[in-house]
Structure formats: structure tokens, C-alpha cells
Structure 1
Amino acid sequence: MALTMDKLLGIQQHTLGVRTQRAEMIANNIANADTPGYKAKGLDFQQALKQAQSGMESHKLARTHDKHFNVEINPTGQEKFRMPTQPDTGDGNTVDVQLEQNLYAQNALEYEMTMNFLDGKISGVKKALSGQ
């Protein structure tokens, strides 16, 4: 039985991409905290993960040669506007900087956790291949 990267890494490889996209979105919210009319955006993490797990056929690239790798473009989560948690200050901006900073810190910890998990998986395969 062949060991594929999907079987080896499981959902964690997709989780890493979604967490990266989420970090970019939160950083963008923080950067636009003083921009009049800017609406804070969020990412539906569960929906993005379900898309990644399903391996949507429309995102697969066709192989034109037998020696080419199978390549799949990871689907991304749907961007949604976040519900305001503070009263309108008059400029129409819905960014709550404290909330965004907390979300960014949480996402960074989850990203690091995913990286550590993947590192452990890859280290285990290296040990198995070297006969340790």
C-alpha cells in the first residue's frame, strides 16, 4: 500500500493553509482599524476546513505527463463581515482592535500547534525510513 502525503499528514496540511489565510485577514483588520467605513472581516474556519477535506474536484489540476505530481489547489474559506461588538463611533468602522489582537494571538498559537504536529509526523517518517 502506497503512502501518500494526504494519508500521512491528514487534515493538518489543510489546516495550516486556512490558519495562514485567517492570520492575513486579521492582520488586515488591525491595519485598517482607523480607516473610515472599513468593515472587519472574518473567516468561517469550519467551512474552509470542510472544503479542504472534501478535496473539491474543481480545484484539481490535470496531469499532462505520467511523471508529473498530482497538484491540488487548496480551497479557501469564505470571507464574511464580522458583526460589530462595539457601538458605532460615527465613521462606520467596525474593527475592535482588542478583539482582533486576541484573535490573532489565538490563531498564532493554533498555527504553531499545527506546525509542531506536522513536524512530529515528518520526524516519525524520517525515523522509520532511516530504520531507527
Structure 2
Amino acid sequence: MNAVPQYDPLTFGENALKLRTFRQQVLGNNLANSDTPGFKARDIRFADVLKAQLEGIAPSNAVNLATTHSAHIPGKVPQEDPRLLYRIPNQPSMDGNTVDADVELTEFTKNSVYTESALTMLGGTIRSRMSAITGQPS
């Protein structure tokens, strides 16, 4: 039997809300570029990215440059966000755009509902902690 990891509700809520906000931006970008030739729709695997964040695994979007001499200054080259994945289109368009407006709008709406629930959960966690600190019911 696998043990389910326990996370602090405040930390979980904060990370979930930040990630939901990030996903909303990604989905909004997809919708905004639905008519842009060659644009490739992106998304994240929410559960996988949230789990990695809660476990302290930070995404690295930079590649370290090799140094060949001890006097060289180490450097990094930025790359795109490794959390972003390309969405596989149901029906690719002739101009190379992979955005399906119906899929994106559905995901955008679902993510909005999940964001509202994350806000509600985080608010409840904060109220219960304030109640515990002050000794007064929330």
C-alpha cells in the first residue's frame, strides 16, 4: 500500500493557486493566438507540476554553460519553461496552428472553476488558522 504524502494545507493552497494562475495565462495565450499561423498550443500537466513543486523540485529553464578554465565565469543560457508541453491537436490546420478554440475555451473555463475552488480552500485555511491564533470563531 502506497502512503499518500501529507502537505501543509497553506503551502498546498498557495502552490495550487499560483499554478492555476500560470495555467490560466497559458490557456489565455493559446486562445489569443488561435488565428496565428504556425502557433503551437501549450498546456501543463497540472497534477505532475504541482506534485513537483510541493516536493521542492524546481523547474530549471536554464542550461549551465561549460567552463574550460578556472578563471572563466559560469553562465547560463535561458530556455523555454520545461513545464509547458505541446498540445496534440485533434485536427491540425493547414497553416500549422494547433489551437482548437473549443478545447482551449473548455480548459480555460474548467481552470477558472478550479481557481475559484483553490481560492475558497486557501481562504478557509487562513480563517481556521486565524481562529486558532486568536481563539475566536471565524
TM-score of the pair, normalised by structure 2: 0.72
Shift of 1:47: 2.0
Identity of aligned residues (%): 34
Is residue 2:20 matched to residue 1:16?
no
d(CA) in 2 for partners of 1:77, 1:120? 32
Among 55, 80, 85, the residue aligned to 2:85: 80
Q: Does 1:96 align with 2:100?
A: yes
- Answer yes or no: is the 8 Å Cα contact 2:38–2:97 preserved in 1: yes
Uncovered stretches (5+) of structure 2, i.e. residues with no partner:
1-6, 61-80
* Structure 2 match to 1:69: none
8 Å Cα contact 1:44-1:77 kept in structure 2: no
What is the TM-score normalised by the length of structure 1?
Answer: 0.75
Unaligned runs of 5+ in 1: 1-5, 60-75
1:39–1:93 contact (8 Å) kept in structure 2: yes
Corresponding residue for 2:44? Answer: 43
Which letter maps to 1:89? S
Q: Is the 2:23–2:44 Cα contact (8 Å) retained in structure 1?
A: yes
| CA gap 1:50/1:8 in 2 versus in 1, 3 angstroms | closer
Runs of 4+ in 1 over 6 A off after TM superposition: none
Post-superposition offset of 1:10: 3.8
Residue correspondence of structure 1 range 54-65 to structure 2 within 5 A: 54-56=55-57
Q: Which amino acid aligns with 2:93?
A: T
One of 126, 134, 138 as aligned partner of 1:122: 126
TM-aligned CA distance change 1:101 to 1:8, over 3 Å: closer
Question: Is the 8 Å Cα contact of residues 49 and 77 (structure 1) preserved in structure 2?
Answer: no
Q: Any conservation in 2 of the 1:43–1:77 contact (CA below 8 Å)?
A: no
Count, aligned residues: 110
Amino acid at match of 2:85: K
More helix by share: 1
Q: Max radius of gyration: which structure?
A: 2
Deviation per CA, 1:90-128: give whole Å up to 9, x if none. 111110001101100000000100100010111111222
